[in-house]
Amino acid sequence: MGVFDAFGYKGKRALVVGGATGMGAATAQLAQDAGAEVVVMDIAAPTLAGAEYIQVNLADKESIDEALGQLGGRVDTLFSCAGVADGTPGIEKINFIGHRHMIDHMLEDGMLPPGSAIGFISSAAGLGWESNLDRLKDYLATPDFDAAVKWVEQNGGADYMSTKQAICAYVASEAYPMLKRGVRINAICPGPTDTPLAQANKELWLGFASDYRAELGLQPSTPLEQAYPLVYLCSDAAVSITGHILVTDVGYFAAGLTEAYPPATDIARFLTGRLT
């Protein structure tokens, strides 16, 4: 073995939740190409040849528990990729609460042993979570699936931005206690990416930062271009990285916050909670 093998997944078992389409499908393909045994959990069946498929509905606690029962055994890498857009019933469960429930149970059952890693897909819409940290900490303090659902019913948060901020706050706050168990957790916050979900919300999602991309001669990211950093963060090569929220937006927010690209400044400051 050479030192570069740390970037690979040979001999590892990877679970990709939301691996049927979009960035999740690209992540499943990349992990498989890197040597992993891939299991896909999704409400729809994947097209990836050679991947095991287990159906799951993240909005249904019993469905998650049943899927985990079918999964059984050790998982070296969990990619939490499933997500839906505003207007989808149960968005708070599908985008965050269901993922957290799955992680909690996998940790309790020893399915994520020391040395394993978790990678979430959040969103540029989740940036600015720090300015809402007190509220998010109250949300994260809910002990289980049902309590979290009730909290959202009482306090709000059944929207895309809130669910993505919850992911970011969860990753940051859980990094230390998970690392005490030998488990790393990170997330990416993609900018506009050409997925089926983005195409269904094309004007809003793919129109965002289009002026910036036009200046640079760029198109929206491909799902594979977002899978690359996510798979890296869960590889052994990233062993020193945990609790990190990696912004994968081809530099839009950095250019806006520093005023290197002034048209992005106000929106970057707003989404990161820095607009005064």
Q: Report the 10 Å Cβ neighbour count for 237.
A: 15
Q: Which pLDDT score is estimated for 253?
A: 96
* Average confidence (pLDDT) over 48-58: 98
Please state, rounded to an integer, the average pLDDT across all residues of the chain.
Answer: 97
Q: Report the 10 Å Cβ neighbour count for 2.
A: 6
pLDDT in tens, 99-137: 999 999 999 999 999 999 999 999 999 999 999 999 999
Q: Which pLDDT score is estimated for 269?
A: 93
Spatial CA neighbour of 234 closest among 18, 23, 36, 1:
36
pLDDT in tens, 21-36: 999 999 999 999 999 9
CATH entry 3.40.50.300 includes domain 3-271? no
Residue 275 has pLDDT above 80, yes or no: no
pLDDT in tens, 138-166: 999 999 999 999 999 999 999 999 999 99
Q: Which pLDDT score is estimated for 276?
A: 65
Spatial CA neighbour of 118 closest among 48, 14, 191:
14
